[in-house]
């Protein structure tokens, strides 16, 4: 006979999952609870590992700056002198194949991955700082400050992102990935600013803010010491989603020819360079696209995991075994009294 609990059971507790959740996090700090919930999200944990492996592979294979990596071929320059092996198709020497000039595609894809990652993190840094500052000032001070900052935010939102990105890409020159990413960060901060503003409008009415104000804390201390830590969940989650949008925007601009330009290399630029070879040599097109999709998916999964970790309303449905164990803990079986050998309960002896 099965001991599983079903909703039809007369003793089924619909709130047992809440009891299990409380028992599991009892005595843990907020950081420990967030970490515990994040590690339970298998997709997010796998994505962190995959993104770390992609980053390590891109940096160590072809090197970074003046440091040379372990791969035998360079992304450009001397790579043009390599003879074609197997007609340029993937081989043991060139696992990703070669282009018509003999350049190793693996080295070029790794360099392009480096550039795209630099742009992604530059966008995330600039856009997050601007979004926090604008949203925090607008939500905390309200009034005229709120009106001016939000009207400026609305102005940026109404402009097409791809058009602004193209203009800023041409202004940056397209050869410095960090500068190009910083320029893109100047147009991608408004959504985060609006979310931070809404969070601060809610937090400024809380009791701990009134207590800090009565204690004589300055506005700067209230914003950065008391309110900002309570909005960190919204900020982190939306920053990860912003990173995914940034790498896709960089790919689109480079593909259109208004982003990263030669002799620099990015994943979007590689797709643009090899789009004509899609029918005859598809591996030139597949590998940059595969890395773009992988990075974007990893960042999105990490964002989903962080959202579930920081949002207390996200509850996991426990298994029937966990619910049965929780019931046994809450409702222990009654203890039996020893018998006197005839089946009747023995009377307790008096001293």
The DSSP-derived string for 87-153 is: GGS--SSSTT-B-TT--BHHHHHHHHHHHHHHHHHHHHHHHHHHHHHHHHHHHHH-HHHHHHHHHHH
Asked if residue 320 is part of any domain, the answer here is no
Do residues 287 and 235 touch, judged by C-beta distance below 8 A?
Answer: no
Asked if residue 49 is part of any domain, the answer here is no
Do residues 292 and 109 touch, judged by C-beta distance below 8 A?
Answer: no
Asked if residue 327 is part of any domain, the answer here is no
Specify the CATH number for the domain of residue 200.
1.10.3720.10
Asked if residue 67 is part of any domain, the answer here is no
Q: Is the pLDDT of residue 67 over 70?
A: yes
* DSSP bridge partners of 98: 104
Q: Is the pLDDT of residue 87 over 50?
A: yes
The candidate with the shortest Cα–Cα distance to 137, out of 220, 236, 237, 211, is 220
**pLDDT at residue number 8:** 45
Tokens of 338: 């020893």
* DSSP bridge partners of 64: 67
Asked if residue 33 is part of any domain, the answer here is no
Q: Measured at the alpha carbon of residue 286, what is the angle toward residues 74 and 257, in degrees to the nearest 5? A: 75
pTM: 0.77
Peptide bond between residue 110 and the one before it cis (omega within 30 degrees of 0): no
Tokens of 128: 């997050």
* DSSP bridge partners of 345: 339
Asked if residue 132 is part of any domain, the answer here is yes
Asked if residue 235 is part of any domain, the answer here is yes
Full residue range of the structural domain in which residue 109 is found = 105-291
Residues 157-181 pLDDT 10s: 888 888 888 888 888 777 888 899 9
Compute the 3-state secondary structure of the chain and give helix, strand, coil in percent, each to the nearest 5: 65, 0, 30
Asked if residue 204 is part of any domain, the answer here is yes
**pLDDT at residue number 312:** 58
Report the domain count for the chain: 1
Q: Is the pLDDT of residue 4 over 70?
A: no
What is the mean pLDDT of the segment spanning 281-288?
A: 86
């Amino acid at each position: 006979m099965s001991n599983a609990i079903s909703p039809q059971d007369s003793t089924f507790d619909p709130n047992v999952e809440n009891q299990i959740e409380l028992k599991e996090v009892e005595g843990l700090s907020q950081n420990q609870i967030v970490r515990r919930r994040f590690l339970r999200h298998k997709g997010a944990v796998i994505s962190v590992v995959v993104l770390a492996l992609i980053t390590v592979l891109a940096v160590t294979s072809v090197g970074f700056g003046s440091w040379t990596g372990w791969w035998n071929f360079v992304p450009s320059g001397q790579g043009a002198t390599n003879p074609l092996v197997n007609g340029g198709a993937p081989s043991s020497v060139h696992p990703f194949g070669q282009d018509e000039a003999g350049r190793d595609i693996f080295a070029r894809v790794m360099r392009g991955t480096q550039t795209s990652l630099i742009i992604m993190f530059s966008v995330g840094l600039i856009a997050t700082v601007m979004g926090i500052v604008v949203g925090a000032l607008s939500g905390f001070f309200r009034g005229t400050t709120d009106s001016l900052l939000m009207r400026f935010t609305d102005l940026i939102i109404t402009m097409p992102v791809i058009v602004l990105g193209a203009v800023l890409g041409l202004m940056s020159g397209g050869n410095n990935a960090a500068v190009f990413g910083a320029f893109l960060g100047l147009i991608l901060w408004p959504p985060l600013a609006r979310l931070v503003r809404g969070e601060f409008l809610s937090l400024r009415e809380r009791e701990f803010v009134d207590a800090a104000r009565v204690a004589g804390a300055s506005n700067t201390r209230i914003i950065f010491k008391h309110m900002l830590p309570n909005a960190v969940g919204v900020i982190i989650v939306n920053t990860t989603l912003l990173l995914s949008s940034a790498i896709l925007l960089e790919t689109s601009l480079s593909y259109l020819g208004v982003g990263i330009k030669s002799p620099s290399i990015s994943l979007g630029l590689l797709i643009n360079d090899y789009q004509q070879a899609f029918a005859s040599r598809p591996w030139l097109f597949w590998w940059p696209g595969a890395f773009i999709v992988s990075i974007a998916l990893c960042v999105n999964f990490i964002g989903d995991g962080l959202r579930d970790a920081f949002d207390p309303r996200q509850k996991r449905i426990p298994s029937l075994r966990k619910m049965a164990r929780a019931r046994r803990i809450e409702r222990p079986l009654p203890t039996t009294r020893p018998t006197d050998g005839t089946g009747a309960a023995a009377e307790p002896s008096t001293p």
